[in-house]
């Protein structure tokens, strides 16, 4: 996939899971990587394991919840290698709690990190893309950005919001050479369910059975990179859960019944 050669690629949430898998896969190409998360030690580990050096990989700490201060972070990213060609918005939080048992502060946190932080970072780098007449946003949302499931109300809301925002980003800035690819994974073998927020804001700390049986992060990222290279508008990644996309469109009542029967946590 020569699309990634000679590009500078910025990956958020790069310290574990899908983000770390992006780092490993992209380390095989002739590109520069900027990797971000709050966990600098884990970024250092991932950089070392991927065989990357300071010449081709820059660690840039980032907290998406600090969304009013994205411009200085973008300035550091752009100045380090001189440009950014592709921003992979991957960082985020999940949720496992019923609506009636979830404090509003949890909904707020999910929106701050999953939506507002991602939007703020993307808006901060947009002028750079416009100036270069080229740029690509790849946004890791979820199948939950297309349909819903119990225990994920705030998470679904934030992921749905990303689709609305970035559909408009694509429409408004296609003329500027800006592309947008929405990446919608289903169940992937990561710590997303362990780190998921419960009703009081604490982490669940257990692995969901469906998550444990999901695709590997490597397989997910390989599919995602193909979609990015083709500049697809959206791509859906998973196993049987992907059919929910089409059921939502054509058979919404049947999907409603199916999801309730599945008892997915």
Cite the active site residues.
155
Q: Give the three-state DSSP class for 80.
A: helix
Angle at 202 between CA 96 and CA 47, to 5 degrees: 90
Contact 161, 115 (CB under 8 A): yes
Residue 108's contacts (CB-CB under 8 Å, 6 or more residues apart) are: none
C-alpha dihedral sign at 255, 256, 261, 262: positive
Which whole-number Å values give the CA distances from 105 to 95, 101, 109, 119, 164, in the listed order? 12, 12, 6, 20, 23
Indicate the length of the chain as a whole number: 265
C-alpha dihedral sign at 136, 19, 235, 264: negative
Both tokens assigned to 64: 């998406």
Give Dmax (Cα) for the chain.
Answer: 53
């Amino acid at each position: 996939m020569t699309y990634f050669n000679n590009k500078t690629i910025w990956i958020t949430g790069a310290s574990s899971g899908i983000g770390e898998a992006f780092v490993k896969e992209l380390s095989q190409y002739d590109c520069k990587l900027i990797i971000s998360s709050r966990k600098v030690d884990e970024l250092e580990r991932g950089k070392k394991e991927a065989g990357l050096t300071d010449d081709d990989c820059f660690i840039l700490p980032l907290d998406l919840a600090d969304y009013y201060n994205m411009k200085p972070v973008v300035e550091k990213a752009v100045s380090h290698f001189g440009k950014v060609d592709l921003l992979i918005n991957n960082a985020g939080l999940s949720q496992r709690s019923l609506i009636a048992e979830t404090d509003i502060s949890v909904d707020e946190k999910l929106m701050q990190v999953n939506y507002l932080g991602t939007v703020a970072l993307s808006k901060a780098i947009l002028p750079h893309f416009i100036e270069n007449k080229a740029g690509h946003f790849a946004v890791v949302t979820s199948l939950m950005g297309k349909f819903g499931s119990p225990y994920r109300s705030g998470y679904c809301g934030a992921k749905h919001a990303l689709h609305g925002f970035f559909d408009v980003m694509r429409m408004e800035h296609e003329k500027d050479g800006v592309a947008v690819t929405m990446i919608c994974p289903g169940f992937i073998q990561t710590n997303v369910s362990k780190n998921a927020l419960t009703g009081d804001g604490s982490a669940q700390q257990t692995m969901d059975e469906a998550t444990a049986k999901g695709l590997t992060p490597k397989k997910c990222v390989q599919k995602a990179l193909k979609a990015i290279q083709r500049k697809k508008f959206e791509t859906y990644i998973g196993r049987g859960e992907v059919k929910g996309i089409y059921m939502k469109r054509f058979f919404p009542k049947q999907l409603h019944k199916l999801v309730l029967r599945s008892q997915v946590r």
